[in-house]
Amino acid sequence: MSGTFDAIVIGAGSVGTPLSYELSAAGLKTLVIEALASPGQGQNKAAIGGVRATHSDPAKILICKQSLGILSAWEKRFGYDIGWKPGGYCFPVYTEKIEATLKGILPTQKSYGLDIDWVGPDDIARIVPGVNPDGLRGGTYSPGDGQVSPLRAVNAHEREARKLGAVFRYKEPVTSIRVARGKVVGVDTTAGRYDAALVVIAAGASARRVASFAGVDAPVTPDSHEAGITAPVEHFFAPLVVDLRPGPEGRTVNFYFGQNKEGQIIFCYTPKDLFIGEDRESLSEFLPIISRRLVGLIPRLRHVLVRRVWRGSYPMTPDGIPIADRAPGVDGLYLGVGMCGQGFMLGAGMAKNLASFITTGKPVIAEDVWKLLRADRNFGASKKEALK
């Protein structure tokens, strides 16, 4: 196969697929190339579906606010459901240290327009019925956050992009990104040769390898995480819940869970030790650890049946902040990579900003905040230094 396009997007996942919609909506003839068999089969498929703007980083706050606006209004705008469930995010707190941390970032969160507040233990018990009251100090609650089905959302973006003329090529691993005289001119795959003066890498965990085809280093390292889901039960809590306490086993940093629109409890934890790579084999330790964490926080979950578990990858940058920028040294090549396990919640908003940045030279969010995502930043620097 061959063809000439205005833009080529490498990756049909949480960022690449909504980006194909945004670029097509801007009038660009867009091709999406994906090594897997259909959209969202990489990290998107492994996401648990939470979408929150409750971050401490300004860029993530603003971009996720845009994602929330897009995803929460999807059914009204396009006429079909993508699994949106309102209910917010809740961070119950049991230690003085975590209370100080969360209260400390509230001014930053509120300064960027985030609807979030500290609430007392009685409010947490109301928001999360059955939460363990022993030592509960209160917590933060952001009612505007929610949950969405990752696969429904990515397929919905593909559907609408196709309506606008976007072309998708699946089962076509990229073999080269052609560069001539410092400018990108096209992409080759195992099945085709495609020309374009604009190429965007949105390849998730494979970002570093794909960027190397153009002689660009994208400092993204995949870190494997595990998640699971139960059989459906009657709805009894609305928010996605995050417990920041280290686990008693010493193996976890925090854990988080929610009840989706179908009534299933979906859950994940952050392991203390990194699991570098894209291995998707489940670990025997995951279910015993997460079960103790869940039942310890909400005892009524002790009899819920777990249906399945799985693993996915967090594409991590050295500083935990995404890269969304022109690729250094190659005109026409852009990066939308390193979402650090938050690609699904960032995806729709990130795509909107990247498309605007590519087509007009400016993002939708404030430019000084967008600079936090620069590709040439000092990844060991503070956020203030990164803005210089």
Identify the domain boundary among 315, 346, 366: 315
DSSP calls for 10-63: E--STTHHHHHHHHHHTT--EEEE-SSSSTT-SHHHH---EE----SSHHHHHH
One-letter amino acid at 297 equals L
Do residue 161 and residue 192 come from a single domain? yes
Q: Given CA atoms 359, 361, 367, 368 in this order, what sign does their dihedral have? A: positive
Identify the domain boundary among 280, 315, 350: 315
Do residue 136 and residue 238 come from a single domain? yes
344: containing domain: 2-49+150-220+319-386
Closest-CA residue to 140 (of 165, 106, 107): 106
Q: What is the DSSP letter of 64?
A: H
Query: Does 73 fall in a domain?
Result: no
Query: Does 117 fall in a domain?
Result: yes
Residue with tokens 């935990």: 320
168: phi then psi, degrees, rounded to nearest 5 = -120, 130
pLDDT at 280: 78
Question: Could you tell me the CATH number of the domain that includes residue 303?
Answer: 3.30.9.10
How would you write the pLDDT of the chain (388 residues) with one tens digit per residue? 889 999 999 999 999 999 999 999 999 999 999 999 999 999 999 999 999 999 999 999 999 999 999 999 999 999 999 999 999 999 999 999 999 999 999 999 999 999 999 999 999 999 999 999 999 999 999 999 999 999 999 999 999 999 999 999 999 999 999 999 999 999 999 999 999 999 999 999 999 999 999 999 999 999 999 999 999 999 999 999 999 988 866 777 889 999 999 999 999 988 887 788 887 788 788 999 999 999 999 999 999 999 999 999 999 999 999 999 999 999 999 999 999 999 999 999 999 999 999 999 999 999 999 999 999 999 875 444 333 3
Do residue 299 and residue 167 come from a single domain? no
Query: Does 69 fall in a domain?
Result: no
Residue with tokens 């560069």: 179
Do residue 133 and residue 236 come from a single domain? yes
Tally of structural domains, the chain: 2
Residues forming beta bridges with residue 181, ordered by sequence position = none
**CB atoms inside a 10 Å sphere around CB 324:** 28
The pTM assigned to this predicted structure is 0.94
pLDDT at 41: 94
Whole-angstrom distance between the N-terminal and C-terminal Cα of the chain? 44
